[in-house]
């Protein structure tokens, strides 16, 4: 019977702009007894963004007239609305004080991923990494160089979902792992040929890792051991559905 273990990696201090996040993870892994080949490290977006300096002080933001108008409708800080607009490729929908946006990466999420929770101080907001795949690749390469093991890395963030309450961690970047497991052409035990079944492996891993990350637990890195996955360079961009195939655009 398959068994998968998920555990938090202790010993990672508060991350700030310019910190060597990959070095911190490597040091924490050594302190925890090291990593094993095939492990998957799921790293929260927040610490990646902090280390990469993706923090904006709202005192430096001058809101546009459009941001002021939107903020007045929903009793929001117009400076934060302006930051959201700057991270937005397309506004998908607005209502109930929430802007559902398509980011420049192609993600569809609330407020373009701009978040005021768990940042350095009140009055600042955190943005998504510019390229989370590149962030994952850099962490993976550093761990391989320092620890001598080949692991996969997933960068995760919490998104809401249409039709269901609650948020779930999704993958916004990956390295060393194929993001999708395609069963197309294979047959189930009854002999039925699967035609369109592809599992979002990196999303499944990101969601599972949140069980040890926790929103308030300050455990930004989880190790998943025993998971089966296809190795490869991978990119989360492979999971973004083309507009012509998207029935909800």
Highest mean pLDDT among 86-90, 97-101, 237-241: 86-90
Q: How confident is the model at residue 187 (pLDDT cuts 50, 70, 90)?
A: low
The residue with greater pLDDT, 142 or 2, is 142
At the top level of CATH, which class does the domain 5-53+132-239 belong to?
A: alpha beta
Query: 29-63 pLDDT, tens per residue?
Result: 999 999 999 999 999 999 999 999 999 999 999 99
Q: Where in the chain is the domain with CATH 3.30.1330.100?
A: 5-53+132-239
Q: Where in the chain is the domain with CATH 3.90.1660.10?
A: 56-125
Query: Is residue 214 over pLDDT 90?
Result: no
164: buried, middle or exposed (CB in 10 Å: 19+, 13-18, 0-12)?
exposed
Query: Is residue 206 over pLDDT 90?
Result: yes
Whole-angstrom distance, CA of residue 85 vs CA of residue 158: 19
pLDDT of residue 56: 96
The CA distances from residue 120 to 9, 111, 112, 198, 249, in Å, are 21, 19, 19, 39, 36
Q: Does domain 56-125 have CATH number 3.20.20.100?
A: no
* φ and ψ of 59, to 5 deg: -65, -20
* φ and ψ of 183, to 5 deg: -95, 5
Query: Is residue 193 over pLDDT 70?
Result: no
Q: How confident is the model at residue 194 (pLDDT cuts 50, 70, 90)?
A: low
pLDDT of residue 209: 96
* φ and ψ of 93, to 5 deg: -165, 150
Whole-angstrom distance, CA of residue 152 vs CA of residue 143: 10
pTM exceeds 0.85 = yes
Query: Is residue 165 over pLDDT 70?
Result: yes
Question: Looking at 6-10, 94-98, 183-187, which range is the least confident one?
Answer: 183-187
Average pLDDT, the chain: 91
The closest of 115, 224, 106, 75 to 173, measured between CA atoms, is 106
Average the pLDDT over 180-199 and give the result.
72
Question: Looking at 126-140, 199-213, 231-245, which range is the least confident one?
Answer: 231-245
pLDDT of residue 196: 64
Question: Looking at 16-30, 108-122, 168-182, which range is the least confident one?
Answer: 108-122
């Amino acid at each position: 019977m398959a068994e998968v273990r998920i555990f938090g990696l202790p010993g990672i201090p508060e991350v700030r702009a310019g910190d060597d996040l990959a070095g911190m993870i490597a040091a924490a892994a050594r302190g925890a007894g090291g990593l094993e080949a095939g492990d998957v490290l799921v790293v929260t977006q927040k610490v990646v963004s902090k280390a990469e300096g993706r923090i904006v002080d709202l005192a430096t933001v001058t809101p546009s007239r459009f941001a002021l108008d939107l903020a007045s409708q929903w009793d929001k800080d117009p400076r934060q609305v302006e930051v959201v607009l700057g991270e937005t490729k397309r506004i998908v929908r607005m209502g109930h004080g929430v802007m559902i946006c398509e980011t420049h990466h192609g993600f569809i999420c609330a407020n373009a991923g701009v978040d005021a929770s768990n940042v350095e101080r009140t009055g600042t907001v955190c943005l998504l990494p510019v390229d989370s795949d590149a962030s994952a690749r850099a962490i993976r390469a550093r761990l391989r160089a320092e620890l001598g093991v080949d692991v996969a890395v997933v960068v995760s963030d919490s998104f809401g979902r249409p039709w269901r309450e609650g948020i779930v961690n999704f993958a916004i970047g990956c390295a060393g792992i194929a993001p999708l497991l395609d069963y197309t052409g294979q047959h189930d035990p009854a002999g039925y040929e699967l035609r369109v079944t592809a599992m979002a492996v990196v999303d499944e891993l990101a969601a599972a890792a949140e069980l040890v990350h926790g929103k308030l637990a300050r455990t930004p890195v989880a190790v998943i051991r025993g998971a089966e996955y296809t190795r490869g360079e991978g990119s989360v961009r492979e999971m973004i559905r083309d507009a012509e195939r998207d029935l909800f655009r």
